[in-house]
Structure 1
Amino acid sequence: MDSKLDFHPRLFSALKNYSKEKFMADLMAGIIVGIVALPLAIAFGIASGVSPQQGLITAIIGGFIVSFLGGSSVQIGGPTGAFIVIVYGIIQSFGIEGLAIATAMAGIILLLMGIFKLGTIIRFIPYPIVIGFTSGIALTIFTTQIKDLFGLTMESVPADFISKWIAYFQSFGTTNIWSLGIGLISILLIIITPKLSKKIPGSLVAIIIMTIIAYVLKHHFGITGIETIGDRFTIDSSLPQPAGLHINMETINQLLPAAFTIAMLGAIESLLSATVADGVTGDRHNSNTELIAQGAANIVSPIFGGIPVTGAIARTMTNINNGGITPIAGIIHAIVLLLILLFLAPLTTHIPMACLAGVLIIVSYNMSEWRTVKSMMKNQKADIAVLWVTLILTVIFNLTIAIEIGLLLAVLSFLRRVTENTHISVLRNELDQSANKTETLSEEQLSLEKGVEVYEIDGPFFFGIANKFDEQMRILGDKPLVRIIRMRKVPFIDSTGIHNLEIFINSSRKENIHVILSGVNPTVHASLERMGVEALLGDEYIFDNIHKAVAKANIMASELKAQPK
């Protein structure tokens, strides 16, 4: 692996050929994205269990750093719906300070992933897992918004999914009809707006209209019970001050699982967002640079009171659709949000909570991937099982458990498939040949001397196959004089495979059976040499093609049969 750091922020290369035309395009896109991000940042902050101000701070800091240091030209960073569940859970268990520490630790993990060039990690996350926890998060977000949508009067909302719904059903008698009306009309406005104008975000339209209506109802008609942001939070419009994080080994051990979940979720969502953007723009992002930028954003964000940052697909697509060309658009989006925080923050106190609930319900619907879930029901049973287990664990327990168990199931499913498709065959008397890139052979048949057997391994010789090989050797009938292990179709061998091969060689020797290896490619040969198998067997018994191996085996078998008994 190349030791050189793969860190090439797209901003610096974009500025080399920057022009007034590009700036105007980025300016308009940045302003629009900033306006679109406003209601989402506030809603995600509140739903995560923090203040709306903290949601805005996250969008400002995250948006700036991701655009300044990132490996994508159009990526927009900030808080996203995917983190609501995990952030809320961490706050419930460890408080705001615990969240800050977990977020900073996740930032360090993301930073290291970028430094060690693990940007392609997204390829190793099975699709059923991604869909499973995305749909599970969507269902959980929807569930968390029921109280505000209906304006329910509840002393406290239970933390777990099932208890929440039990409590909701017990409290539906306290529904506030004005809150419910505001929430439903907000959802309707968000759905209708794109049909009238693609440029104006439906969530912003809903918030402006419903805030005005709620204000008039409360202050001019005396309607009570419509809860607003100002009834629940105090928004400080000043710049946030940095605060230190008190980290020790005890907190690291407690928060490492949560930090790992934040890092993995951040990596998956950011790189998915950048990949989707590449498909639209025809550009190609640098995934390692993007992970370093995401890591830096998540280290800095909690210092100023922010929550986890990641690439936001919806805001990134808004940036592209409105003409954003370079990372300058993302920086302008962060500046727009900063100006709103400094000069317009008091106005946000009048936004009805039911309206924000409507915004998040639409977000959860868009996240649900229900059409994809429906289409995946036609896939193999193993994929369906991974999807539903991940989804159910996300909803019933938490995202950390869901990702861990989902990955474990996916790995076990993969191993089973590889094991089923890897074959070990035994050949005697004659050997059919076919040309391949490892062994240059003709279409002739090679004759095997009596007492010579060939065992061909078709597939990787790793821990999942090693036991299968061992079992195959145990059920063999007559003992041969020479065994040829044909490895032309073995792309790699791991330590378990080597260990089983050593056991096989030693047990064969005890039975006076000689072992020859054939078709060993350079990679496998290097592994055998490194692990001492070559020294155990002898270099003269390891061949790169079957012709040499059969010739050696036939001579050995003839000599052994000629020896007096």
Structure 2
Amino acid sequence: MLSLSHFNRQTIKGDIFGALTSTIVALPFALAFGVTSGAGASAGIYCAIITGLFASLFGGTNQQISGPNTGLTVAMVAILTSFVAQSPENGIAMAFTVVSLAGLFQMLFGFFKLGKYFILVTYPVISGFTSGIGVLIILSQIEPLFGRSLAELQVSLATLTSTNTLLGLACILVLFLWPQKYSRVVPASIIAVIGATIFYIFAGVDMPVVGAIASELPSFNMPIWDNALAGEMIKSALLIATLSTLDSLMTSLTVDSISNDLHDSDQELVGQGIGNIVAGLFGALPGGGATMRTVTNLRAGGTTPLSGILHALFILAIVLWAGEYTAYIPVAVLAAILTHVGISIIDWNFLKRIHQVPLFSVGLMISTMFMSVAFDLVTAVLIGVFIANLVTIRRISEIQLDNIKLCTAKDAEHMSTPEKQLLASMDDSVILLNISGPIGFGVARGLKQSVSQSDHSKALLIDLSDARFVGITSTIAIEEIIVSYLNEGRDILLSSVCERVRNDFNKLKLLDKIPKEHIFATRIDALNYLKQKLSK
């Protein structure tokens, strides 16, 4: 969050250069995303201004540049189309109400400290998700490039030689072939936009153009709520909030790795949320952290939130004094820019190594990418994360099961010599169940299986000397073992229950189910008790 400490002579120069450079990079993308969304170029431009300003003022990443991006634009296309189809009169207003609602959800994510959980997504899911977005953005640019929708498209010589298509393909070549060393001075997207605009002005050909942006501030839009569509509005808002959160926090992690700084994830979500609330109220697209623009700002010298604020103000100045000139920018060049973005964000590095990656990870990546294209982005991520977590839990459970051992004197290597001697002296009458490490819910079944296969004619000592956490499911499993032994009239004892585990046991009143004289502070106390009892 911006504070007075961010203003000093040492950083202001770098912030100005960072803001100018990132503005040059951001302008073509803001126009392209706005046009593609269906809300108009101004919706993309004002997204860059509003979210860039408020995310810098209230966010938790010093060098973050926020604005429209690929995933959010793809989602917004679907949301606008859906709400306009269901309510022609109020559909657009409801779509922007969804943007503000998404911002509110993001703020709640931050207030409830959920930021750290959004970045715990396995790489194959992120890879499939971003690659799916890449495919979607490419598909969305077919009509602007070729003048026909995907369903109507039949590639022929006539299609490929239309002026609009040739210009778009030429711009794509420029974007791919422009030398990287020159991009640091003048980005390829700026070269493409300037070249296409000059061609349009002097060639005198008829082709779709962006249209002028009104040189005035956007008007306030009163939010509209429709109870009949409440479920869809909430679902759409959660989609926007999730995508913006993922984009922003992933960009924040990138900044941390470059600047050796540490961002505040929850504060970042609050800042992005405020930006999206205001963006929805003024008819702008939803925004999030923009990695390429943020890195550009960082490399050019931006070090504080002031760079993001200046970035927003520079774009505003351009719109207010030069908005009319967007009337000469061909739509084809913006389609080319987004096609280039779509191709670039597909995870080609993962796909090239697909034969070296475990089959499960390949399947998870491909299925997430397919679901992103065929269904929707949230469904793809939720299913991908669910499957990945199930497999992770199974693997962790297998490791944790190694921490549960039924011991006799022969294999009790972790015990002291006196304990081993005590256990050996009554080996025919006592089994030691040693539980160590954190025990989650995934091992409950294995825990009960281990005990059920043991000799119930012997006393059972459950030793928790090395256990620091026992989940609720495993606690219930231990409770069932205790009740089973007591019902059979067999002796069962507990030893070395640490304070944290004891508190968890007390919540279920587990310790009330076992005689107090069978609960011991240490393992050797329990073994001495059993020795004395057997001697009698």
CA deviations on 1:221-240 (whole Å, 9 max, x unpaired) are: xx33x22223xxx6333211
| Paired residue secondary structure (2:470) | coil
Q: Which residue of 2 aligns with 1:199?
A: 185
1:227 aligned partner, one-letter code: P
CA deviations on 1:340-386 (whole Å, 9 max, x unpaired) are: 22221221122112111111122122211211343465343333332
Within 5 Å, give how 1:464-479 maps onto structure 2.
464-476=442-454, 478-479=455-456
CA distance in 1, matches of 2:528, 2:348: 61
Asked if the contact 1:485/1:516 (under 8 Å) is kept, the reply is yes
The 1:443–1:512 alpha-carbon spacing in structure 2 relative to 1, beyond 3 Å, is closer
Q: Which residue of 1 aligns with 2:87?
A: none
1:215 Cα deviation from its structure 2 partner: 2.2
| Paired residue secondary structure (1:425) | strand
Q: Which residue of 2 aligns with 1:51?
A: 40
Q: Which residue of 1 aligns with 2:168?
A: 183
Which one of the candidate residues 497, 505, 526 is aligned to 1:528? Answer: 505
| Paired residue secondary structure (1:308) | coil
CA distance in 2, matches of 1:385, 1:486: 42
| Paired residue secondary structure (1:492) | strand
CA distance in 2, matches of 1:186, 1:26: 31
The 1:33–1:519 alpha-carbon spacing in structure 2 relative to 1, beyond 3 Å, is same
The 1:360–1:197 alpha-carbon spacing in structure 2 relative to 1, beyond 3 Å, is closer
CA deviations on 1:200-245 (whole Å, 9 max, x unpaired) are: 111011101111102222x2xxx33x22223xxx633321111121
Q: Which residue of 2 aligns with 1:445?
A: 420
Which one of the candidate residues 48, 70, 73 is aligned to 2:62? Answer: 73
The 1:256–1:459 alpha-carbon spacing in structure 2 relative to 1, beyond 3 Å, is farther
2:164 aligned partner, one-letter code: S
Which one of the candidate residues 337, 341, 348 is aligned to 1:359? Answer: 337
Q: Which residue of 1 aligns with 2:407?
A: 427
Q: Which residue of 2 aligns with 1:380?
A: 358
CA distance in 1, matches of 2:355, 2:98: 36
Which one of the candidate residues 4, 10, 15 is aligned to 1:26? Answer: 15
Which one of the candidate residues 207, 210, 218 is aligned to 1:229? Answer: 210
1:442 Cα deviation from its structure 2 partner: 5.7
Mean CA deviation greater in 90-99 or 69-78: 90-99
2:21 aligned partner, one-letter code: I
| Paired residue secondary structure (1:426) | strand
Q: Confirm whether residue 253 of structure 1 aligns to residue 231 of structure 2.
A: yes
Q: Which residue of 2 aligns with 1:127?
A: 123
The 1:55–1:467 alpha-carbon spacing in structure 2 relative to 1, beyond 3 Å, is same
2:5 aligned partner, one-letter code: S
The 1:455–1:327 alpha-carbon spacing in structure 2 relative to 1, beyond 3 Å, is same
Asked if the contact 1:114/1:292 (under 8 Å) is kept, the reply is yes
Mean CA deviation greater in 247-256 or 268-277: 247-256
CA deviations on 1:71-112 (whole Å, 9 max, x unpaired) are: 121100111112122111111222333322322222122111
Q: Which residue of 1 aligns with 2:483?
A: 506
Q: Which residue of 1 aligns with 2:432?
A: 454
1:543 Cα deviation from its structure 2 partner: 3.8
Asked if the contact 1:431/1:446 (under 8 Å) is kept, the reply is no
Which one of the candidate residues 110, 113, 118 is aligned to 1:114? Answer: 110
| Paired residue secondary structure (1:486) | strand
Asked if the contact 1:433/1:443 (under 8 Å) is kept, the reply is no
CA distance in 1, matches of 2:153, 2:518: 73
1:193 Cα deviation from its structure 2 partner: 4.7
CA distance in 1, matches of 2:157, 2:104: 44
CA distance in 2, matches of 1:513, 1:249: 61
CA distance in 1, matches of 2:158, 2:418: 82
2:174 aligned partner, one-letter code: L
Asked if the contact 1:108/1:295 (under 8 Å) is kept, the reply is yes
Which one of the candidate residues 5, 20, 24 is aligned to 1:13? Answer: 5
1:184 Cα deviation from its structure 2 partner: 2.0
CA distance in 1, matches of 2:28, 2:466: 57
Asked if the contact 1:128/1:383 (under 8 Å) is kept, the reply is yes
1:70 Cα deviation from its structure 2 partner: 1.4
Aligned residues: 523
Which one of the candidate residues 133, 136, 139 is aligned to 2:132? Answer: 136
The 1:114–1:53 alpha-carbon spacing in structure 2 relative to 1, beyond 3 Å, is same
CA distance in 2, matches of 1:512, 1:173: 89
| Paired residue secondary structure (2:439) | coil
Structure 1 unpaired stretches of 5+: 1-8, 158-163, 436-440
1:419 Cα deviation from its structure 2 partner: 2.0
| Paired residue secondary structure (2:407) | strand
CA distance in 2, matches of 1:388, 1:451: 56
CA distance in 1, matches of 2:164, 2:489: 86
Q: Which residue of 2 aligns with 1:542?
A: 519
1:41 Cα deviation from its structure 2 partner: 0.5
The 1:480–1:325 alpha-carbon spacing in structure 2 relative to 1, beyond 3 Å, is same
CA distance in 1, matches of 2:532, 2:228: 66
Q: Which residue of 2 aligns with 1:340?
A: 318
Q: Which residue of 2 aligns with 1:5?
A: none
1:555 Cα deviation from its structure 2 partner: 3.4
1:121 aligned partner, one-letter code: Y
Q: Which residue of 2 aligns with 1:368?
A: 346
Q: Which residue of 1 aligns with 2:241?
A: 263
1:176 Cα deviation from its structure 2 partner: 4.9
1:170 Cα deviation from its structure 2 partner: 7.3
- With the length of structure 1 as denominator, give the TM-score of the two structures: 0.87
Asked if the contact 1:11/1:326 (under 8 Å) is kept, the reply is no
| Paired residue secondary structure (1:527) | helix
CA distance in 1, matches of 2:496, 2:366: 43
CA deviations on 1:133-187 (whole Å, 9 max, x unpaired) are: 011111111121122222x2x3xx4xxxxxx4x4434788644532222112212
Asked if the contact 2:419/2:524 (under 8 Å) is kept, the reply is no
Q: Confirm whether residue 211 of structure 1 aligns to residue 197 of structure 2.
A: yes
Q: Confirm whether residue 518 of structure 1 aligns to residue 498 of structure 2.
A: no
Q: Confirm whether residue 492 of structure 1 aligns to residue 493 of structure 2.
A: no
The 1:242–1:483 alpha-carbon spacing in structure 2 relative to 1, beyond 3 Å, is same
1:458 Cα deviation from its structure 2 partner: 4.9
Within 5 Å, give how 1:70-109 maps onto structure 2.
70-95=59-84, 96-109=92-105
Asked if the contact 2:94/2:224 (under 8 Å) is kept, the reply is no
Q: Confirm whether residue 243 of structure 1 aligns to residue 228 of structure 2.
A: no
| Paired residue secondary structure (1:422) | helix
